[in-house]
Structure 1
Amino acid sequence: MNRNDLRTIKSYEGYPCLSITLPTHRTSPDNKQDPIRVRNLVTQATNRLLESFSRREVAGLLTDLENITNEIDYTHTLDGLAIFVNADVALKFYLPFTLNERVVIDQNFFTRDLVFAMNRTPRYWVLALSEKPTRLYEAVREDLEEVTAGTPFPLTHGGPGGASGLTNDPAVNRSAFRDEHHRIFFRNVDQALGELMAQDPLPLAVVGVDRFISFFREVGSHNDKIVTTLTGSHDRTSAHELGKLVWPLVKQSLAASRQQALSELDTAVGGQRYASTIGETWRFAREGRGALLLVEEGFHYPARVNASGTGLDPIEAPSGPEDMDDAVDETIETVLNMGGRVVFFEDGTLAQHDRIALILRY
């Protein structure tokens, strides 16, 4: 699941929207209980729907719910499962992070737990460069899932030096001719990647032989997003094995990024171009001024917008639609949606800033 999937899910409206989430397991014997838990939650959801609707009114929804749950492949589940069904759509997602067990029936799909998990879980793109084909993966830690549906990926080089042969014209420099068509191909790869980067601007790990990485950097527009590279031919490397190779490199890079972010914050503090505390960071983020948000991983702040509309009042727990389950997540989402960056830190790192700080664009 990426941010575009999440935005799509959040866009659906109309009662009833049924959301089912639960933790799942990757290995036996723990995963033997997963089908039973899903069936129990489906039964719970069905009973709750029939308390408010006649069976005829929700017949289509119940059929879709049955069909989508019958499609679950329990041999390939990860750490969490999310199911969303209403009159218009039936979706399921295997997720590499655990979720609370919930059945929610509301005007919209329940996404709070997903937003929380996605915001606080290291996610990144892996681009495996090759002639046949170049593949894109969405990664969470060492878990890689190939991106295909609704995208141009995977992409195969069909030009000279790829699927088609090189010219035999002795007047043509075959090496230069081949290299130029590789540049054209990787420029197309970069353009296809850009469409997904615009929706979900994650860090990027690039995999491939030196020549291909060099061409991609030369013609690409995402060099600032590249956090690490893994050199070598990995055309036959499985997603599972590739994740084991890439994640340690990304993890090391993220640690360096945290140190760099702290240095940037020190500079911003000296230049009076920063905000601290959740109330201030939330307000400046909404104004579109957030360039880089620094936040402790365990920081949560249920809140209500104050009477003036410019600040936040803490609450014990949400009690109405105007309340925020977590103003920290709201701030994270706002910064990301407006093109800013977010870096997470261990609890206690940002104590002098009340656990959260924002470097301002202006």
Structure 2
Amino acid sequence: MNRKDLQELRIHCGYPAITLVMPCNKEKIRATLQTILDDVREANLPKTILEKSVALLDQLGCPLDEKTTKIALFIDAHRARLFTVPACVADIATHDTSFRLDAITSALNYQLRYWVIDCSNNAPHLIEGVEEQLTQLHNTCAIFDTKNCPTALTKNKNECLNTCFASYMEQDPLPIILVGSKKETAYNSSFILYEPRIVARVESLEDVWPTIQRWHAAEIEKLLHKIRHQEPPHDFISRFDEIVTAARQGLVIMLAVEKGYMRAGCEHPVTRAVVLNASCPTGFVSISAVDQLLEAVRAKGGDVLLVPDGSLKEHHRMIAFVTMR
């Protein structure tokens, strides 16, 4: 699941908007979904939507250990969408006037996420990495309804994977690890387009998590070293309001934020002014301030680096490197 998916799911809702998050067990998912559908029977969801929900679950491939993978199913009068989500997201089974997305948003924002392209046996497939959890996206094009690649990974696996991966990278330009021998990881020239995002090449999936951990630790160390040894004037900003403004203007190259830093905030619906208060002044609406900032940075193509708690305490727990246009 990625940032653009979340944006799309926030609009065009209405009762009933069904949110179902649970471990990947098809029988339990079907039973829970049926209970919810029984509760909202009077809303008369379109037959085509219900049929699509059934089709998505029919195509769903679950691992033997259901605890390792969670799915999120969203259904309203206009769509049925199915995703894999991090295992740390709490189970949800509800219907309302809008989808329940806060827990998923926070999980995606505060987890180390990356793409893995397993090129073993010259039959590459796409894997989503969230911390140590690796989830192969089975039949990616079919389950995730990727418009650019309507055929499931059957007739031409390489072509389909490339088309799907281009779509995913456009939505979520995360670090990439290639898995396989040098020959296997080099044979597909299409991945050259993403060379700046490739952080490592490893020979087995067992090497992925230790490798991404080392890469992440090195990136943190480079950043902290730069901050400690840089003489004023600094090329970063740390005031929250300044970072918000720069993020909205697309000027944030990289935002570094402590992993445990979460703040409630308030936003004015007209001026879009943001304040870090738990109790909102008159005319303001409650928001998850840091979550929205992280999304704003990523929406404009900026990078986000999660750093250990306490490492940026002298800079209000976050800093942003900006570019001037």
TM-score range, shorter chain: 0.7 to 0.9
In structure 2, the residue matched to 1:172 is none
Per-residue deviation, 1:9? 2.9
In structure 1, the residue matched to 2:123 is 133
In structure 2, the residue matched to 1:168 is none
Residues 119-172 of structure 1 show CA distances to partners (whole Å, capped at 9, x for unaligned) of 1112111122357422222222241313631366869999xxxxxxxxxxxxxx
SS where residue 250 of structure 2 aligns? coil
1:175-324 map, 5 Å: 193-214=165-186, 220-231=192-203, 242=205, 244-266=206-228, 270-305=232-267, 309=271, 311-316=273-278, 323-324=285-286
In structure 1, the residue matched to 2:14 is 14
Letter aligned with residue 315 of structure 1: N
Letter aligned with residue 183 of structure 2: R
Letter aligned with residue 192 of structure 2: G
SS where residue 90 of structure 2 aligns? coil
Residues 39-87 of structure 1 show CA distances to partners (whole Å, capped at 9, x for unaligned) of 568646744x46xxxx264575995698489757585533544221111
Inter-CA distance 245–266: structure 2 relative to 1 (3 Å threshold): same
In structure 1, the residue matched to 2:134 is 143
- Equivalent residues of 2:260, 2:309 under 8 A apart: yes
Per-residue deviation, 1:333? 0.6
Per-residue deviation, 1:253? 0.9
In structure 1, the residue matched to 2:85 is 95
Letter aligned with residue 19 of structure 1: T
The runs of 5 or more residues in structure 1 that have no matched partner are 159-184, 235-241
In structure 2, the residue matched to 1:355 is 317
TM (norm. structure 2) is: 0.76
The runs of 5 or more residues in structure 2 that have no matched partner are none
Inter-CA distance 263–154: structure 2 relative to 1 (3 Å threshold): farther
Residues 76-122 of structure 1 show CA distances to partners (whole Å, capped at 9, x for unaligned) of 53354422111122233343322234445444322221111111112
Residues 12-63 of structure 1 show CA distances to partners (whole Å, capped at 9, x for unaligned) of 43333222335x4x8xxxx8xx93x98568646744x46xxxx264575995
Residues 309-361 of structure 1 show CA distances to partners (whole Å, capped at 9, x for unaligned) of 36422333689996343111111111111111001012111111111111111
- Equivalent residues of 1:132, 1:156 under 8 A apart: no
Which of 96, 100, 110 is the equivalent residue of 1:110? 100
Instruction: Give the whole-Å Cα distance in 2 for the aligned partners of 1:207 and 1:306.
Output: 47
Inter-CA distance 299–198: structure 2 relative to 1 (3 Å threshold): same
Inter-CA distance 294–56: structure 2 relative to 1 (3 Å threshold): closer
Which of 116, 123, 126 is the equivalent residue of 2:113? 123
TM (norm. structure 1) is: 0.70
CA RMSD of aligned residues (A): 4.2
Residues 225-263 of structure 1 show CA distances to partners (whole Å, capped at 9, x for unaligned) of 1111113xx6xxxxxxx2x33111111111111112324
